[in-house]
Amino acid sequence: MSVAGRVIVYGGRGALGSTVVNVFKKNQFWVCNIDMQENTEADHNIIVTGDTWTQQEENVCAEVGNIMNDEKLDALLCFAGGWAGGSPGSKDFIKNAETMWRSSVWPSSISAKLACEYLKEGGLVVLPGAQPAVKGTPTMAGYGMAKAAVHQLVASLAGPKSGLPANCTSLAILPNTLDTPMNRKWMPKADTSTWTPLVYVADLMVKWTSGEERPDSGSLVSLVTQDGITSTQPSKVGQ
């Protein structure tokens, strides 16, 4: 059966990743999920194993190599991540910072490597940034450090000699608050009219994968929702 294209979703079992997998499947894409758990909607699942950065990289890359054959990807979309607070002076600063590095930088880096090897020319790689991390984040310093590293990686991928195939686009999405079940559970009194719907993000990924309305490579794309309406605001590292 012919497919509209091929995508890998790294972190395709979380709230956002699952929505992205679902929307791509509805648009007739072949989808591979890479995560700690399976997503039964995906065509293929790769379970992340390994206690170190290099072990995870070796295992994930080997599994992707086994399933790709001579195929190439239209997009590699990473939504893996997490959140932990804490100022540099807090008791758990180093512990939480290490957790944030593992949950954000490790999967983004592995995604970048996979993108360099398996994207087709003109393909797309999207990594998970965050709006707060474009400036200081004193009450969640580890989180801000990790997300800022992801922003830098996006800029590096967009530069010459990064290893990406010709005419590929490297982007980060920078949501403020996503409208997830867990956010609704833990912030029941928040103004959800400023929260970005997951389906909006998923539809945006399909558009960008198809070459529609893509920002310039290296852009950090803020997702700004006001009164229930979301818009995109691209910028670059250092701007």
Say what the pLDDT of residue 239 is. 58
Radius of gyration, alpha carbons of the chain: 17
Catalytic residue positions, numbered: 143
Strand order in the sheet with 219-226: 44-47, 30-35, 6-10, 73-78, 119-128, 169-175, 219-226, 229-235
**Token pair of 103 as six digits:** 């949950």
Say what the pLDDT of residue 166 is. 97
Say what the pLDDT of residue 194 is. 86
Say what the pLDDT of residue 110 is. 98
Query: Which is nearest to 158 in space by CA: 172, 143, 177, 175?
Result: 172
Per-residue DSSP letters for 170-235?
EEEEEES-B--HHHHHH-TTS-GGGSBPHHHHHHHHHHHHTTSSPPPTTEEEEEEEETTEEEEEEE
Q: pLDDT truncated to tens, each residue of the chain (239 aa)?
A: 689 999 999 999 999 999 999 999 999 999 999 999 999 999 999 999 999 999 999 999 999 999 998 899 999 999 998 889 999 999 999 999 999 999 999 999 999 999 999 999 999 999 999 988 999 999 999 999 999 999 999 999 999 999 999 999 999 999 888 878 788 888 888 878 888 889 999 999 999 999 999 999 999 999 999 888 999 998 887 65
- Domains of the chain and CATH, by start: 6-235 (3.40.50.720)
Per-residue DSSP letters for 51-62?
SSHHHHHHHHHH
Say what the pLDDT of residue 4 is. 92
